[in-house]
Amino acid sequence: MKYSPFVLTDPGTYKGALISASFIQTAFNLLLTLPFGVYLRYYFKRNWRQTQLWLIIIPFIFFWTADWLAYTGTVSEKDLPQTLLVVGVSVAIVAVYLLHLFVSLFFRNPRLIYEKISKTRTIAVKKDRTHE
């Protein structure tokens, strides 16, 4: 919170928090790591257990890489502590893992979800036509 202008009770600080470096770093880490589980599950046709196993292994690789980079000082800025990189990457990886776990459980059978949505739309269209 030292580097972020965000104050929960003050809505005027929300815009500043969204453009602060700490938020942008975490947001881009989320965006960069999110497609991994989707590619494993749907593009490479891995089953649910294999996807979850890889989603447990990959964060450790990312964490060790980020920890090594922060330890050597390769990518850290002078005014930020070196552990900020490690914490940001760790938070992003855990958040992406939990998000993908939720999404993969919710969309376990995409065809079934599509059928439910199309039935709902058909029912809504029929109701609209009966009111005319």
- pLDDT, block means (10 residues), the chain with 132 residues: 72 82 76 72 74 75 72 60 60 73 66 61 55 54
pLDDT at site 6: 75
Predicted local distance difference test score (pLDDT) of residue 81: 56
pTM for this prediction: 0.46
pLDDT in the model for residue 120: 60
Burial class (CB in 10 A: 0-12, 13-18, 19+), 98: exposed
